[in-house]
Amino acid sequence: AQKVTQAQTEISVVEKEDVTLDCVYETRDTTYYLFWYKQPPSGELVFLIRRNSFDEQNEISGRYSWNFQKSTSSFNFTITASQVVDSAVYFCALRHTGNQFYFGTGTSLTVIP
Amino acid sequence: EAGVAQSPRYKIIEKRQSVAFWCNPISGHATLYWYQQILGQGPKLLIQFQNNGVVDDSQLPKDRFSAERLKGVDSTLKIQPAKLEDSAVYLCASSLWPWKKQPSGGDTQYFGPGTRLTVL
Q: How confident is the model at residue B2 (pLDDT cuts 50, 70, 90)?
A: confident
Of the candidates B45, B111, B112, the beta carbon closest to that of A100 is on: B45
Which of A33, A2, A19 is closest to A90 using CA atoms? A19
Judged by CB atoms closer than 8 Å, whether chains meet at B116 and A43 is answered as: yes
What is the share, in percent, of chain A residues with pLDDT greater than 90? Answer: 71
Judged by CB atoms closer than 8 Å, whether chains meet at A105 and B42 is answered as: yes
Q: What's the pLDDT tens digit per position in A54-70?
A: 888 888 889 999 999 99
pLDDT value, residue A42: 86
Q: How distant is the Cα of A97 from the closest Cα of chain B, in angstroms? A: 9
Q: How many CB pairs under 8 A join A and B?
A: 50
Q: Residue A7 above 80 pLDDT?
A: yes
Neighbours of A64 (CB within 10 A): 16
Residues of A in contact with B48 (CB under 8 A): 99-100
Which of B29, B54, B43 is closest to A95 using CA atoms? B43
**CA dist., res. A61 & res. A53, Å (int):** 19
